[in-house]
Homo-oligomer: A and B are copies of this chain.
Amino acid sequence: MKDFAFTGGRPDPNTFPTEALIEASTKALRNLGGQLVNYPGESGYRGLRELASMRFEGREGVPLPIDNTSITSGSMQALDLTLGTFIQPGDTVLTEEYTYSGTLGIMRHLQANIVGIPMDYIDGMNMDALEDKLKELKRQNVTPAMIYTTSNHQNPTGAILSLKRRHRMLELAEEYDTLIVEDDCYGDIDFVPNPTPASLFKLDESNRVIFIATFSKILGAGVRQGYFVAKQPYYDMIHQNRWDGGTSALASAIVAEFFKENLEAHLETTNNAVGAKCKAVIDTLEEHVSDICTWTKPRGGLFLWIDLPESTDMKKLNALASAKGVGYSNGSAFHYAGEPVKAIRLAYAYCNIEDIPEGITYLAEAIRDAQVATVDVAAAD
């Protein structure tokens, strides 16, 4: 049976640049040689920090502060270190109502009180709702440890926090004295040429934003090369919480060497491929389930979110889809409180494009076959 894997935030395997990485690793190893006996240092390989800075400058017009940038094992370790530094058990954290399951896992592990803020799938977190919640918390004498947001191509919805909302979020963070953790791990995956709004990190004027990004999402999750950027005192605070001896300089140097030469060309190649896959998913959904489902139409990132009819039996859907080899992620995994949700997330970059119509057709059939006459539906009849 074929495997239609729409699970997991993995980049496109078909545009993985094997030969160029071989060239890059040859160069990197010849450059560094015996220097690799040294520890990378807690901040990691400088060449990759410089690359992160240049990349940011290309997008945002200003460089990242290299001495405040620290390489991590993907953006996941950056999250682990940052959240672990600023969240004490019982602390309140605010996030989009639907957000990355891995972040929720860390927050739960840290025993945070997670508060989900309503959002829409286009412009992200609702700032009126955020303000209301901050007011309510203030009345209870609660200062949240942070607002966590995925500003670009949000996981799982693909929402992009609008510029207006970014400004307002910064104002609210200032007014209510909290931090913002901006997870921009999907920022580089864009299918259209017009840029996303300026980052919260760039817009920030009162040192309230910790910025997290990664090279793994445009290359491979297996390379594990993310980073965080935090001004002082936050940078040192996070590093006091770091005890891994730093991220592999071998891997960092290879990734840096590759992107130094190939960033723009690789982005064009892989983003075109991923965008085409996204379109193939949308076209097939359109053909088969536009009468009963709605879904997001992301302009970037790796994920598409499908709202299913209320009458969907989620267990049955899972069984039917699995039987056809179709994998997806259950919506509840992304709900801040893990509540059951009649929605699923599709990750579209991994599956071969020629298999997408077949896989999504199976999924559409499974969605139809998973509809049940609920009591409510029966009553309405």
Contact = CB atoms under 8 A, between A and B. Distances in A.
Interface in A273-288: none
A250 interface: yes
Interface string A5-39: 00010111110101001100110011011111111
Contacts of A246: 73, 224
Nearest to A223: B250
The listed residue with most B CB atoms (<10 A of its CB), out of A18, A246, A251, A349, is A251
Interface residues of A, number: 56
30 contacts: A10-B38, A13-B33, A13-B34, A13-B35, A16-B33, A16-B36, A21-B29, A25-B29, A25-B254, A26-B26, A34-B220, A36-B223, A37-B219, A37-B349, A37-B350, A40-B222, A40-B224, A72-B244, A73-B245, A73-B247, A74-B244, A79-B243, A80-B244, A222-B249, A224-B245, A224-B246, A224-B248, A224-B250, A247-B248, A250-B251
A323 to B, nearest CB: 24
A29 B249 CA distance: 17
A246 B247 CA distance: 11
Given A72-B244, A251-B251, 18 more contacts: A12-B37, A13-B34, A16-B37, A22-B26, A25-B25, A36-B221, A37-B350, A40-B221, A40-B222, A76-B245, A79-B243, A80-B243, A102-B245, A222-B248, A223-B248, A223-B250, A244-B244, A250-B254
A295 B314 CA distance: 69
Contacts of A341: none
A36 B222 CA distance: 5
Contacts of A243: 76-77, 79-80, 102, 105-106, 109
Nearest to A224: B248
Specify how many copies of this chain sit in the oligomer: 2
B13 A22 contact: no
A150 interface: no
A70 interface: no
Interface string A214-235: 0000011111110000000000
Contact of A73 (B8, B25, B102, B244): B244
